[in-house]
Amino acid sequence: MTLIAYQQALEIIRSRSKTVSETETVELDAAVGRCLAAPVIAQFDSPKFDNSAVDGYAVFHHQDLAAGTTLRIAGTIAAGDLPTQTFGPGESARVFTGGYLPRSCAAAAMQENVDVHDKTIVLRASLTPGENVRKQGTEFRTGGLLAMPGDVVGPGTIACAASQHFQKLVCVRKPKTAVFSTGDEIVRPGSSASDSQIYDSNAPMLCALVQIFGGEVSESRIVRDSFHALQEALQAASEQNDLIVTAGGVSVGDRDYLPSVVEKLGVVHFHKVSLKPGKPVLFGTIGNADIVCLPGNPASAFVCAHLFVRAALEAMLGQNRPHPRCTIALRGDVATGNRDEFFRCVLQDGEAVIHGEQASFGVQSLMQADCLVHVPAKTHHKSGELRTAIILR
């Protein structure tokens, strides 16, 4: 197969990944990062009632008042009080921030702007009707659409839902994901490694990423470089999962069996992308599960997971908006070859600076990078030119 453009690879993933249709009701305090399956509709107006924006004095006079005006203090309204007393023109009431303002209230004067005498206040500044009053329904009205299916729940969504007396949110079931590292040289941390073996950094990293991207890891282990072992692992995983993510064994080496295993068990939608790092990436389907096969070098697996595994999970969750990209100045001159490149960069003074370690076997830059910056193929990038970046989080 010929190399396909990375944007085309993303489009294939987005169009072929199957959306999860099952939903779950999730407690608000466990809902952060989940994808909504039902709209959040306003149950009542916000603000719920007219209330004071300041600590001061509610004023019951529906005309502009000049500095020097004297008003009688006729009562007190603390936050949480529901006043029963009626107030009229020429009167004021001590009020605190968030205090309920009766409809007869015209405005609230900041306490810093009044002189307080025994039973009266004198305005130090003029006061206009509406000043310092948070009017009922000015943020949104009962029935308003606050969040939509496909929105990802953030702390702000939780604040908004809680303010509307929601205790639970209806969310899309997390796509079940199996994660496999492959390679005869790979040993699970905790087991002993011979001098020629290395510890598995991909599966632990990919498990973390899958969770950040909104998936649920159902199993994670190392599979040997054997056609049969891989076939067995993928066949079993495809029956239990929405997504399979593998690392290693997808290139052109004699023991890179994954392309032929996926081909045998299902369909390969693409293999090999015009991308650095990440040329050997494969995307396919086995039964009801989609499969993303990533290269084994940890930095390649990391970059390609951010691009392709994230895209698959976003599509499965029915997410409205893909993880945001931004435009940023990239410091340093670089020239790319025939493939698009993603550089691991750190943010410094509002610019992206290419991390000193770009080798695909490296792991330190994965920890230290703040963003991935895209430089298209055959580009002579001049320091300071704007590029698209993916913020890592």
Return the residue of 83, 175, 249, 277 that touches Mg ion, per CB under 5 A: 249
Residue with CB nearest ligand AMP?
Answer: 296
In this structure, the number of other CB atoms found within 10 A of the CB of residue 63 comes to 10
Query: From the CB of 247, what's the least distance to Mg ion, in Å?
Result: 9
Binding mask 169-208 for ligand AMP (x = CB under 6 A): ------------x-x-xx-----------x-xxx------
| φ and ψ at residue 75, rounded to 5 degrees | 170, -175
| Integer angstrom CA distances of residue 338 from 25, 162, 380, 386 | 48, 51, 12, 20
Query: From the CB of 392, what's the least distance to ligand AMP, in Å?
Result: 19
Stretch of 47-55, 158-166, 232-240, 243-251 contacting ligand AMP, by CB under 6 A: 243-251
Report the alpha-carbon distance of residue 310 to residue 211 in Å, rounded. Answer: 10
Which amino acid, 260? S
CA dihedral 361, 347, 331, 209 (to 10 degrees): 40
Query: From the CB of 180, what's the least distance to ligand AMP, in Å?
Result: 9
- Answer yes or no whether residue 248 interacts with ligand AMP by CB under 6 A: yes
Binding partner of residue 294 among Mg ion, ligand AMP, none, CB under 5 to 8 Å per kind? none
Binding mask 284-323 for ligand AMP (x = CB under 6 A): -----------xxxx-------------------------
In this structure, the number of other CB atoms found within 10 A of the CB of residue 116 comes to 12
CA atoms within 13 A on the CB side of 338: 5
CA atoms within 13 A on the CB side of 95: 32
Question: What is the sign, positive or negative, of the torsion defined by CA atoms of 368, 373, 379, 384?
Answer: negative
Q: What residues are paired with 46 via a beta bridge?
A: 140
Q: What residues are paired with 262 via a beta bridge?
A: none
Stretch of 107-115, 211-219, 247-255, 331-339 contacting ligand AMP, by CB under 6 A: 247-255
Report the alpha-carbon distance of residue 192 to residue 200 in Å, rounded. Answer: 12
- Answer yes or no whether residue 248 interacts with Mg ion by CB under 5 A: yes
249-251-255 Cα angle (round to 5): 50
Report the alpha-carbon distance of residue 239 to residue 29 in Å, rounded. Answer: 32
- Answer yes or no whether residue 183 interacts with Mg ion by CB under 5 A: yes
Stretch of 197-205, 242-250, 344-352, 364-372 contacting Mg ion, by CB under 5 A: 242-250
Stretch of 29-37, 39-47, 246-254, 316-324 contacting Mg ion, by CB under 5 A: 246-254
Binding partner of residue 175 among ligand AMP, Mg ion, none, CB under 5 to 8 Å per kind? none
Return the residue of 107, 160, 247, 334 that touches ligand AMP, per CB under 6 A: 247
Residues 6+ apart with CB under 8 A from 369: 344, 345, 346, 355, 392
Binding partner of residue 201 among Mg ion, ligand AMP, none, CB under 5 to 8 Å per kind? ligand AMP
Stretch of 119-127, 249-257, 333-341, 350-358 contacting ligand AMP, by CB under 6 A: 249-257
Report the alpha-carbon distance of residue 145 to residue 38 in Å, rounded. Answer: 11
| Nearer CB in complex with Mg ion: 46/297 | 297
How many residues bind to ligand AMP according to rule CB under 6 A? 17
Of 231, 307, 226, 219, residue with least CA distance to 270: 307
Q: Which residues bind Mg ion (CB under 5 A)?
A: 183, 248-249, 296
Q: Which residues bind ligand AMP (CB under 6 A)?
A: 181, 183, 185-186, 198, 200-202, 247-249, 251, 253, 295-298
